[in-house]
Structure 1
Amino acid sequence: MADILVLNPPFLPKFSRPQRSPAVTKSGTLYFPLFLAQLVAVLEADGYAVDFCDAPAAGLDLPAVVARAVAGKPFLAVLDTSTPSIDADIAAAAALTKALPGLFTVLVGPHATARAGEVLTAKSGGVLAVARREYEATVLELARLLGSGPATAKRLATVAGLSFLGEGGAVVHNPDRPYIEDLDALPPVAPVYARHLDIRHYFNPNAKPPMVTLATSRGCPYRCSFCLHPQTLTGRAARYRSINKVLDEVAWCLDNFPGLRSIFFEDDTLTADKARCREFCAAIIRRGLSFDWSANARADLDADLLALMRRAGCRQVCTGFESADPAALSSMKKGIGTERMRRFRADAAKAGIKVHGCFIFGFPGDTRESILATIDFALSLNPDTAQFYPVMVYPGTEAYDEYKERGFIAAGRWRDWLTPDGLHGCVVRNEHLFPPEIVRLCDLARRRFYLRPKFLARRAAMALVSPGEMARTVRAGRVFLKHLVRGSRV
């Protein structure tokens, strides 16, 4: 029996919903449901029995999920959402409410936050509420409310951060709930992983498997117009867990996950506060914690900080370079130029830290020539690995609003954000380029980058030297090479 079902709903096999650009990925990436896990930790700490189900990771379809819910008989179900899967997410809520009369269903996540009214009034029904933005405290308050009496409109109106259908079917948006300032008040997520999930199901090519994902902060002070989570979930101001709390959780992971090879810190930008990053690294060294880790980092780190990160166990950073074109960088509010990027790449290489470089095509003003220049820039930077995608614009972001206003969104439904088999689709155009041309340029970039003899020889040598590198390379490459050769899809 369970009081509450917390569900990453079924959609496509190995659909990675929690990542910033949800899709079935070419590398076989499957993100940990970090935000849902944090919610589970909060609910369990308050005494609720929770059934935490990650359907894409476990390979469960909707009938299996419904059967599991019927057996558990929860009074509340919380379902995560994403833009490309939203119709399936709403259908999952409808199936659950049909099978369990009296079940209260609430949707969370980026798309539900950005399109709460649209989600609540969907024809298929089944969604009774949306917990917007950062949702742990909102869902906890809702659970307490449901346990103490009926879910009347008057009572639901007291829950900050909640949207729901009021009298006569009118959409009611309660005031936003303030962001959690004391992140140390949140229980750790690692024990939730151990109780409910199989960490072997999850994979991030930036970390040696088996791995786990943790976070040391929420929010990002930078203004990139396309970045999803700071604009829909975590906010534009960074908030931090205490370093000792983080490292206590790291130590717990090392003690309780046999064979654990690495930890990925899924902060929006771990290095946003450079002084704190120094303290973090120094504390790892001081406590004698020996583990490989990787993180999202901005391309503005000095050589001495990179060297300290490497001494503390940092193996790789995931960095958005995005473009070599000044106009595109300005348009996306990147706030950093190519010369600084080059210096960062050189300093990272000198420190012995691998770099996964991210590049995006199709911003306003981008032309075939500017994108070809970005490809040349990527080759000259020579990051250890790279990804090349069209800009993915999602509701709730400044980029989505800009493209929509200018008529640059070439999609008729949310499912178009993915190809039929679940890969990222191209839903944008600009003044000069249409989706097919942007896709072809992404394919060209990947082939030019990954089919270089020098790159292939380097990857083979690394895989032979390190068992962890071998496992990571084989797992990512098995799927990726098929798409690389086939091309013509994003």
Structure 2
Amino acid sequence: MLKTLFLHPPSYEGFDGGAGSRYQAKREIRSFWYPTWLAQPAALVPGSKLVDAPPAGLGLDDVLPLASQYELCVLHTSSPSFPGDVKVAEALKAANPDLLIGFVGAKVAVDPEGSLLASPAIDFVCREEFDFTVLEVAEGRPLTEVAGLCTRGPDGQVVWTPDRPVLEDMDRLPYVLDVYQRDLRVEDYFIGYLKHPYVSLYTGRGCRSQCTFCLWPQTVGGHRYRVRSVEHVLGEMALVPRYFPQVKEVFFDDDTFTDNRPRAEEIARGMGRLGLEWSCNAKANVPYETLKVLRDNGLRLLLVGFESGNQQILQNIKKGVRVERARQFAKDCRDLGITIHGTFIVGLPGETKETIQETIRFAQEINPHTIQVSIAAPYPGTQLWKQAKENGWLPEDDEGAQLVDERGIQTAALSYPHLTRTEIFDSVEEFYKKFYFRAGKIAEMTAEMVKSPDVLRRRLREGVEFVSFLRRRAQSA
């Protein structure tokens, strides 16, 4: 077995590029998801180590000494961070020419050959799901005999090995909490709407929804929801109090945990028996009866991608939810006392100045506890990317199509004849201000801070970070 390092490379300061991140960018406030996609193969490879550089505040000088200590290094990358990640790989290879270096992630899954040829420091890239692919590499098998790779042959030619079958028995994957406990510091991970500290993980992979912009189902996870057994999930959950007594919340990071409602209810009842508070991703179509079961068994918050308040835009992106249904869902959650963190996207196909204002009014009406406003990001491998290329929504020069700027802040890559990139970019700040700077919302947040000194300290810190973020965005405009 090769001595193996799993590395989420150093990147922009505060850059949330972890595999759990839906948008790889610097956030409005300090935000880091767990590197679960790296932790999964790390749990399979005996004696391995996982280093998550960005949340730990590690730079290249900090990780470079590791090169001489390992025989195999697996780096997680993303489209925005890829150029910087290649430089990290080159520095590691220079420090240890014998180090075998591989890349994993959605970026290399959709462009394996181009990614491999980006640098001679890269020995292989993994296509799609890579857990057992990496395990076989770590076992020392010849790269050209490992399914699911793009690598180099004896004469330097590019070799595509056979496809690896999609993993069906999800219970074959060991617990990631073991790796979290061994290699990570849970206090390093922050999400503005989750209690701190928290832990997050997946109970399944894939998403039945067909959203044209969503990265993971279109590149790695697929559109079938493949799940771990309820017993397997609850067995891992039973470790939370033992491993992390300081953790206040568990987050199930499945693309849509509520896709399988009977299973979600069964897991919820198990969480209730364990006495664990938890949250998850959900689509805005969960019926009241299911919401009540989840709430009665420890559910605190739902992360919900509303995306837009305009029905035509929802149809354009194949969201599969009607605005009226989302409105009723929000009311049901409010009646049950379930907190909602709502996510919205500006600049999707069909967007106009008027539809942006319509979405802002919709957000004000349903009034989630907190929101995140993102810019439509055409990630390679998604249908949105293909549409953008076909319709000329991307600038002809590659630099103009970048997803983040030189500081890791999300940019507006798309533009339309009736809506410019600048207008899309500026609408994010307008959205936040119109949502949060309302008398009712200010009163709601003030009351929350008065009741809890912890919330007061956290909101004051986040407020400073948010204002600083808006200032940096203005400089990027």
**Cα displacement string for residues 202-228 of structure 1 (whole angstroms, at most 9, x for unaligned residues):** 011231001111211111011001111
Given that 1:129 and 1:162 are in contact with CA atoms closer than 8 Å, whether structure 2 keeps it comes out as: yes
Taking a change above 3 Å as real, the CA distance of residues 128 and 195 of structure 1, as seen in their structure-2 partners, is: same
SS, match of residue 82 in structure 1: coil
In structure 1, which of residues 24, 28, 31 is the aligned counterpart of residue 30 of structure 2?
28
Q: 2-side partners of 1:316 and 1:102: how far apart? A: 47
Match for residue 344 of structure 2? 359
Match for residue 97 of structure 2? 101
Match for residue 347 of structure 1? 332
Length-normalised TM-score, structure 2: 0.95
SS, match of residue 417 in structure 1: coil
In structure 1, which of residues 448, 451, 458 is the aligned counterpart of residue 444 of structure 2?
458
SS, match of residue 224 in structure 1: coil
Query: Shift of residue 414 of structure 1?
Result: 8.9
In structure 2, which of residues 306, 311, 324 is the aligned counterpart of residue 326 of structure 1?
311
Give the alignment of 1:188-199 within 5 angstroms: 188-199=175-186
Match for residue 126 of structure 1? 121
Give the alignment of 1:39-188 within 5 angstroms: 39-44=41-46, 49-70=47-68, 72=69, 74-122=70-118, 124-146=119-141, 155-188=142-175
Q: 2-side partners of 1:465 and 1:194: how far apart? A: 33
Given that 2:6 and 2:42 are in contact with CA atoms closer than 8 Å, whether structure 1 keeps it comes out as: yes
Query: Shift of residue 320 of structure 1?
Result: 0.8
Q: 2-side partners of 1:43 and 1:200: how far apart? A: 25
Farther off after superposition, 330-339 or 247-256 = 247-256
The alignment of Structure 1 onto Structure 2 pairs a total of residues equal to 473
Query: Shift of residue 330 of structure 1?
Result: 1.2
Corresponding position: 1:281 with 2:268: yes
Taking a change above 3 Å as real, the CA distance of residues 229 and 471 of structure 1, as seen in their structure-2 partners, is: farther
Identity %: 37
In structure 2, which of residues 405, 429, 451 is the aligned counterpart of residue 443 of structure 1?
429
Match for residue 17 of structure 1? 17
SS, match of residue 209 in structure 1: coil
Given that 1:324 and 1:377 are in contact with CA atoms closer than 8 Å, whether structure 2 keeps it comes out as: yes
Taking a change above 3 Å as real, the CA distance of residues 97 and 473 of structure 1, as seen in their structure-2 partners, is: same
Taking a change above 3 Å as real, the CA distance of residues 270 and 178 of structure 1, as seen in their structure-2 partners, is: same
In structure 2, which of residues 180, 187, 191 is the aligned counterpart of residue 204 of structure 1?
191
Q: 2-side partners of 1:431 and 1:397: how far apart? A: 22
**Counterpart of 1:109 in structure 2: which amino acid?**
G
Query: Shift of residue 390 of structure 1?
Result: 1.6
SS, match of residue 271 in structure 1: helix
Q: 1-side partners of 2:325 and 2:159: how far apart? A: 47
Unpaired stretches in structure 2, ≥5 consecutive residues? none
SS, match of residue 45 in structure 2: helix
Q: 2-side partners of 1:336 and 1:275: how far apart? A: 20
Given that 1:84 and 1:415 are in contact with CA atoms closer than 8 Å, whether structure 2 keeps it comes out as: no
Corresponding position: 1:400 with 2:385: yes
Q: 1-side partners of 2:97 and 2:472: how far apart? A: 47
> Please, what is the CA RMSD of the aligned residues?
2.0
Corresponding position: 1:298 with 2:296: no
Q: 1-side partners of 2:301 and 2:148: how far apart? A: 36
Taking a change above 3 Å as real, the CA distance of residues 315 and 474 of structure 1, as seen in their structure-2 partners, is: farther
Q: 1-side partners of 2:228 and 2:306: how far apart? A: 27
Given that 1:28 and 1:475 are in contact with CA atoms closer than 8 Å, whether structure 2 keeps it comes out as: no
Unpaired stretches in structure 1, ≥5 consecutive residues? 147-154
SS, match of residue 374 in structure 1: helix
Query: Shift of residue 13 of structure 1?
Result: 1.8
Higher RCO (CA 8 Å, separation ≥ 6 residues): 1
Given that 2:394 and 2:401 are in contact with CA atoms closer than 8 Å, whether structure 1 keeps it comes out as: no
Taking a change above 3 Å as real, the CA distance of residues 352 and 431 of structure 1, as seen in their structure-2 partners, is: same
Q: 1-side partners of 2:472 and 2:62: how far apart? A: 34
**Cα displacement string for residues 139-161 of structure 1 (whole angstroms, at most 9, x for unaligned residues):** 11112234xxxxxxxx4332111
